[in-house]
Amino acid sequence: MSKKHNETHDMNRRQFLGRFGLGSASAFSLMTLGSLQALSDTSKKGQNAFPDMEGQDSEHSGGQMTYRVQNGTGEKISLLGFGMMRLPREQEKVNELIDYALAHGVNYFDTAPIYGGGQNETATGLALSRHPRNKYYVATKMSNQNEGLWSLEKSKEMYEESFRKLKVDYIDYYLLHSVGGGGIDNLRRRFLDNGLLDFLMDERKAGRIRHLGFSYHGDVKVFDWLLDHHDQYHWDFVQIQMNYLDWRHAGGRGRRRGDANAEYLYGRLEKLGIQCVIMEPLRGGGLAGVSDDIRQQMARAHKDDTPARWAFRWVGSHPDVLTTLSGMNRMEHLKENLDTFSPLMPCTTVENELLARIADKMAGLPTIGCTTCAYCMPCKYGVDIPGNFAFYNKAVTEGRLPLPDSSAPDFEEKRKAYLEAYRAAIPTAARATKCQDCGECLKKCPQELPIPTHMSRLVEMTRKK
C-alpha cells in the first residue's frame, strides 16, 4: 500500500467523519456508517451510486446495480456477489442463474476447489465461459486445508486445476482459503514454510492472479499477523464474516469462544485501506428466519423490507465493502437480492440502532453458531449435522423450544410439538442420535464449533419423556 494511497484514504475518512460530526474513535461504536449521505441521496432517487458496467443490461425492475470501485485497479465490482457454494446440481439451472445474474449487473462470482464435492469450479467455469471474459470477475481459493495437500507440489496442482476447471487464463481474485483454523502453526505449514505464498505472489506479479487476498475464520492472531505483514504481502482484499449479529456478538453462547467481532475485523481493514468481501451476511440464513416479534419491529420501521433485505442493506451500507456474497441457488432468491442492491438503499442511523438492539436480543438466545456451510459433511455415520443445527436454531428463534423449566405451564405442549416437528423434518438415519462422537467434523468446521457436544444436547432434548 503506497503512502500516497494511505494519505488519500485517511483524508476521505476524515472528510466523512467531519461531515457527520463524528470523531474517528466513535465512528464505529455509533454504527452510523449507513448514513453515507451521497450514497443515500442517489439511492432514494433511483440512481446508481457508481457508474454502471458498460454494456450491462439494466432492465431489472429494481433499477441499476450498485457498484463499488476496487482501490487498486478502478474495477467496478457489483455490490451483490454470487456465492457459488450451494449451486443446483443441474448445469442447465446453474447456467440460467448465472445468465440472469450477469444480465442484471452481478459480475463477481466466488467459488472454491472443495465446494460441491470438487465439482463447483467445473460448473462455474462451464456457465461463465459462455460469456465474454471481460464481463465477469471470478474468485477462487487455495483450499489446501487437508494436511496431504500442504506440499508445494500438491498445492500447485490444485492451483493449476482451478484454471482448467474455470476455463480461464487468469484469476481475478485469489484467496488463501479459511486461514485462522489451527492458529499460526497451521498458517505456516500451509502457506509459508513450503514457499506457497511466495509462489502465489510471483503469480500475481506475472498477471495470472490479478488480486491476492485471504478468507478468515478462527484464531484472530492469524488475522492480525497477516495484516501486520501487509507491507510485505500487499493484500488486495480480505474476505471476512460480517453481519449485524457478528458485528459485536461473534463470540458468546453457542458460538466459538474468543471469536473476533466483525467490528474489529472491519475496523482493522479500514485503517489499512484494504477493502473486504463479505461472507455470511445472513449468518447461514439465520438472519432471514428471525422471530415474529423481530419481523414486526422491522415492519414498523420499513414495512416493505424482508429480514434478509435488512441484513443485506446493513452490510452494503459499509463503504469499505467491495462486494457481499450470497449463495443464490433459486431464482426467487436471486431476484429478491437484485431488488435489494439495484440500487442499494443504505441503512439510516435509526435503522442501524434498531438492528443493534435486535442483535443484542438475539445474542442472548441459546442458538448454535452454525452457518450451514456444510464443510463438516459428509458424516461417515450419516448425521445431517447442518440440518440438525438449523432445525434447532429455527425452533429457538421462533420461540418453539421447550423451556428448561419443566414446571412451565406450556412445557409439555412445546416438548411434544418440538419432537413431532423434529421427527418429521430429520430422517431417522440423519438424526443426532446417530452421532458416534468420532470428532472428524471438528477438524473441518471453520467456525470451530464443538459439534459432538452440541449433538449430545440435541439427543438429550429429543429423548426427554
The DSSP secondary structure of 124-154, one letter per residue, reads HHHHHTTS-GGG-EEEEEE---SGGG-SHHH
> In the prediction, which pLDDT does 453 show?
80
Stretch (H or E) spanning 233: helix 230-233
**Residue showing cell 466513535:** 26
What average pLDDT does range 345-368 have in this prediction?
Answer: 90
Q: Does the pLDDT at position 15 exceed 90?
A: no
Give the separation between CA 462 and CA 29, rounded to whole angstroms: 41
Assess if residue 201 is contained within a domain.
yes
Number of domains forming the structure of the chain: 2
Question: Picking from 83-92, 98-107, 267-276, 286-295, which range would have the lowest pLDDT averaged per residue?
Answer: 286-295
Q: Does the pLDDT at position 31 exceed 70?
A: no
Are 127 and 241 within one domain? Answer: yes
Give the separation between CA 170 and CA 174, rounded to whole angstroms: 10
> In the prediction, which pLDDT does 297 show?
94
Digit-coded pLDDT (tens) for 429-450: 988 888 888 888 887 787 778 7
> In the prediction, which pLDDT does 324 show?
98
Question: Picking from 86-90, 213-217, 412-416, which range would have the lowest pLDDT averaged per residue?
Answer: 412-416
Assess if residue 177 is contained within a domain.
yes
C-beta separation of 345 from 39 below 8 A:
no
What average pLDDT does range 169-190 have in this prediction?
Answer: 96
Digit-coded pLDDT (tens) for 50-92: 333 333 333 344 589 999 999 989 999 999 999 999 899 999 9
What average pLDDT does range 164-190 have in this prediction?
Answer: 96
Assess if residue 21 is contained within a domain.
no
What average pLDDT does range 375-400 have in this prediction?
Answer: 84
Question: Mean pLDDT for the chain?
Answer: 83
Are 348 and 437 within one domain? Answer: no
> In the prediction, which pLDDT does 404 show?
64
Of 263 and 403, the one with more pLDDT: 263
Can you say whether the dihedral through the CA atoms of 171, 237, 75, 87 is positive or negative? positive
Assess if residue 103 is contained within a domain.
yes
Q: Does the pLDDT at position 152 exceed 50?
A: yes
Question: Picking from 3-17, 148-162, 433-447, which range would have the lowest pLDDT averaged per residue?
Answer: 3-17
Domain containing 125 — which CATH number?
Answer: 3.20.20.100
Question: Picking from 179-193, 251-265, 335-349, which range would have the lowest pLDDT averaged per residue?
Answer: 251-265
Question: Picking from 205-219, 423-437, 444-458, which range would have the lowest pLDDT averaged per residue?
Answer: 444-458
Assess if residue 271 is contained within a domain.
yes
Show the cell assigned to 402. Answer: 421447550
Short-list 431, 400, 434, CA closest to 416: 400
> In the prediction, which pLDDT does 162 show?
98
Give the separation between CA 429 and CA 383, rounded to whole angstroms: 7
> In the prediction, which pLDDT does 276 show?
98
Are 61 and 155 within one domain? Answer: yes
Assess if residue 238 is contained within a domain.
yes
Of 339 and 369, the one with more pLDDT: 339
Of 333 and 449, the one with more pLDDT: 333
Q: Does the pLDDT at position 306 exceed 60?
A: yes
Are 240 and 326 within one domain? Answer: yes
What global pTM score does this model have?
A: 0.76
Assess if residue 11 is contained within a domain.
no
Burial label for 412, CB within 10 Å (0-12, 13-18, 19+), is exposed
User: What is the residue type of 63?
Assistant: G
Are 229 and 301 within one domain? Answer: yes
Show the cell assigned to 135. Answer: 464481463
Q: Does the pLDDT at position 25 exceed 50?
A: no
Annotate 89-105 with b (16+ C-beta within 10 A) or e (fewer): eeeebbbebbebbbebb
Residues facing 284 on adjacent strands: none
Are 238 and 308 within one domain? Answer: yes
Domain termination site, one of 315, 333, 363: 363
Q: Using pLDDT thresholds of 50, 70 and 90, give the confidence band for residue 412.
A: confident
Show the cell assigned to 223. Answer: 488475522
Are 324 and 246 within one domain? Answer: yes
Are 215 and 343 within one domain? Answer: yes
Give the structural domain span for 98.
31-363
Are 441 and 302 within one domain? Answer: no
Of 459 and 195, the one with more pLDDT: 195
Are 281 and 315 within one domain? Answer: yes
Q: Using pLDDT thresholds of 50, 70 and 90, give the confidence band for residue 390.
A: confident
> In the prediction, which pLDDT does 423 show?
87
Assess if residue 263 is contained within a domain.
yes
Are 250 and 338 within one domain? Answer: yes
Are 275 and 141 within one domain? Answer: yes
> In the prediction, which pLDDT does 386 show?
85
